[in-house]
Amino acid sequence: MINTKLPNIINDINTVLFPNLCFGCNARLYRGEQTLCTLCRNQIPLTEFNFSDENRLDKTFYGRIEVKKAACLLYYSENGIVKNLIHHLKYKNQPQIGDFLGEWFGSSLKDDTSLPTIHYVIPVPLHPKKLRQRGYNQVASFGTQLAKSLQAKYADDLLIKTRNSRTQTQKTRLFRMQHGKPLFALKNTQILQGKNVLLVDDVVTTGATLEACTKALFTCSDVSVYIATMAMVP
Ligand SMILES: [Zn+2]
């Protein structure tokens, strides 16, 4: 009797001592709530972008690189729920936030008939040094959930980051132009031939990272690139 009740008592004590908090507003989560409280879920700025109508994220890439179609789940702002979510995901060791966002976005994408069959979901990679520091790629859980929803293969070993970008930003533009080997590279330039790739990232600001990744994907011939991200800066 005591043995079966003990875990429940420990759970109750844990709930009192370490209550689950909303990653959006820090409020205490109630039974049935996960990651975000109901209020934050209702207030979170959804883009409602899809893969048929032209949207603001598509326009980011016009004239720069041929992305077939792009969409993102949320609008990012300097304050608020989305910023708090992404901050916890990236810097507070909360990779499950990516699962939450990936499940959410994935459930709408799997019913989006304008998105063709996706063969590979590929995350924007971290440099191995950064990956060791953080312990995980913050896009991995998001990408894995999207791949699951779309019945695609999640591949995090094809696209690699060749340099740590922090060292890059410290150098001048001229230095980079003279010594500029690409920031991203494709390990295998055959495997993606004739395939539809969904490139995934966390927050799009200028689109430069996704542009560089797409360029690397195009070192394989006949690849179609689609983009899905958690959020964009409007
Ligand atoms: Zn909240």
- Provide the H-helix boundaries in the chain: 2-17, 38-43, 56-61, 81-91, 96-109, 128-134, 140-150, 165-170, 173-179, 208-217
CB environment 104-133: b (16+ within 10 A), e (fewer):
bbbeebeeeeebeebbbbbbbbbbeeeeee
pLDDT band at 1 (very low <50, low <70, confident <90, very high): very low
pLDDT at 176 over 90: no
Q: How far apart are CA 136 and CA 144, in angstroms?
A: 13
- Mean model confidence pLDDT for the chain: 90
- Rounded to the nearest angstrom, the distance between the alpha carbon of 49 and the centre of ligand 1 is 23
- Rounded to the nearest angstrom, the distance between the alpha carbon of 14 and the centre of ligand 1 is 20
Q: What mean pLDDT is predicted for residues 49-60?
A: 95
- Rounded to the nearest angstrom, the distance between the alpha carbon of 8 and the centre of ligand 1 is 26
- Rounded to the nearest angstrom, the distance between the alpha carbon of 22 and the centre of ligand 1 is 5
Residue 94 CA: distances (Å) to CA of 37, 61, 202, 210, 218: 16, 30, 14, 23, 33
- Rounded to the nearest angstrom, the distance between the alpha carbon of 10 and the centre of ligand 1 is 26
Q: How far apart are CA 46 and CA 107, in angstroms?
A: 14
- Rounded to the nearest angstrom, the distance between the alpha carbon of 86 and the centre of ligand 1 is 14
- Rounded to the nearest angstrom, the distance between the alpha carbon of 80 and the centre of ligand 1 is 10
- Rounded to the nearest angstrom, the distance between the alpha carbon of 107 and the centre of ligand 1 is 22
- Rounded to the nearest angstrom, the distance between the alpha carbon of 40 and the centre of ligand 1 is 4
Using one digit for the tens of pLDDT, what is the confidence trace for 74-115? 999 888 999 999 999 999 999 999 999 999 999 999 999 999
- Rounded to the nearest angstrom, the distance between the alpha carbon of 25 and the centre of ligand 1 is 4
- Rounded to the nearest angstrom, the distance between the alpha carbon of 81 and the centre of ligand 1 is 7
- Rounded to the nearest angstrom, the distance between the alpha carbon of 77 and the centre of ligand 1 is 16
- Rounded to the nearest angstrom, the distance between the alpha carbon of 72 and the centre of ligand 1 is 21
SS3 of 77, please?
Answer: coil
pLDDT at 173 over 50: yes
Nearest CA to 192 out of 116, 119, 115 is that of 119
Using one digit for the tens of pLDDT, what is the confidence trace for 7-53? 666 666 665 666 789 999 999 999 889 999 999 999 999 999 999 99
